[in-house]
Amino acid sequence: MVERNEIKLIAVGGSYGALEAMKEILSNLSKECSIPIAAVFHRNRDSKEEAMVEYLSKYTTMKVKEISDNEEISSGILYFAPGGYHLLLENRSRFILYLDEAINYNLPSIDLFFESASDVFGSELLGILLSGANRDGAFGLCHIQKRGGTTIIQKPSSALSPTMPESALEICEPDRIEEPIEIAEIINKFNGDKNR
């Protein structure tokens, strides 16, 4: 069950509608969320980092930042993958950005990130797939599950675009299917409910 594992990294994927879901999750997180969160959202390569960081920073006390190549993973930070690069984990403590061709038209690829993160963290990874308009992330979420990680899919009826969560539900059975506010409560439990 979800409550048993000790989570060292939260991996989040999404596309259209995921930013709104993320805002709701952050608004309901405990103030002292110490678990690092790394998110891959489909973005244009020329999209403005500052706009996303500024927007989401309004809803959390966590530091929000875009990932730099070879960046060390630190607790209490919400990281975003930049557009135009794939995001991988070199090991349990460092991100790497990989410039390559798009995978199924996606750069960054949620599937690739989920697979990389689960290969490194195994059962200590929490994978969350949010709203999105294509199938990216479905196979990656299944890979997290196969490696013993915990998986959550946003309830399709609560997603602005249900294609991404529905695609994952077609090929795997996640640990939980929840609306964003319930996803936040699950994260709070992993975090020890420090401020609840």
Of 178, 126, 128, the residue nearest 149 (C-alpha): 126
Considering the domain boundaries, does residue 157 fall inside one? Answer: yes
Considering the domain boundaries, does residue 185 fall inside one? Answer: yes
Q: Please state, as a whole number, how many other Cβ atoms lie within 10 Å of the Cβ of residue 137.
A: 33
Q: Look at residue 53 in the predicted model and tell me its pLDDT.
A: 86
Considering the domain boundaries, does residue 112 fall inside one? Answer: yes
Q: Please state, as a whole number, how many other Cβ atoms lie within 10 Å of the Cβ of residue 173.
A: 11
Q: Look at residue 92 in the predicted model and tell me its pLDDT.
A: 93
Of 41, 60, 184, 163, the residue nearest 108 (C-alpha): 41
Considering the domain boundaries, does residue 4 fall inside one? Answer: no
Q: Please state, as a whole number, how many other Cβ atoms lie within 10 Å of the Cβ of residue 55.
A: 13
**Domain tally, the chain:** 1
**Mean pLDDT by 10-residue block, N- to C-terminus, for the chain (196 residues)?**
72 95 95 90 68 89 93 95 91 93 88 97 97 96 97 98 97 97 96 58
Considering the domain boundaries, does residue 119 fall inside one? Answer: yes
Q: Look at residue 2 in the predicted model and tell me its pLDDT.
A: 45
CA-CA-CA-CA torsion sign (78, 79, 83, 86): negative
Residue-wise pLDDT tens digits, 56-70:
999 999 999 999 999
Task: Give the pairing type, strands 86-91 and 94-98.
Answer: antiparallel
Q: Please state, as a whole number, how many other Cβ atoms lie within 10 Å of the Cβ of residue 115.
A: 21
Considering the domain boundaries, does residue 2 fall inside one? Answer: no
Residue-wise pLDDT tens digits, 97-115:
998 888 888 889 999 999 9
CB 62 within 8 A of CB 77: yes
Residue 161 belongs to domain with CATH number: 3.40.50.180
Whether the link from the prior residue into 162 is cis, omega within 30° of 0, is no
Catalytic residue numbers read: 15, 42, 136
The model carries a pTM of: 0.93
CB 39 within 8 A of CB 13: yes
* Helix axes of 18-27 and 49-57: crossing angle, nearest 10 degrees: 30
Range of the domain at 64: 9-189
Question: Where is 140: in which H helix or E strand?
Answer: helix 138-146
Q: Look at residue 45 in the predicted model and tell me its pLDDT.
A: 55
Considering the domain boundaries, does residue 195 fall inside one? Answer: no
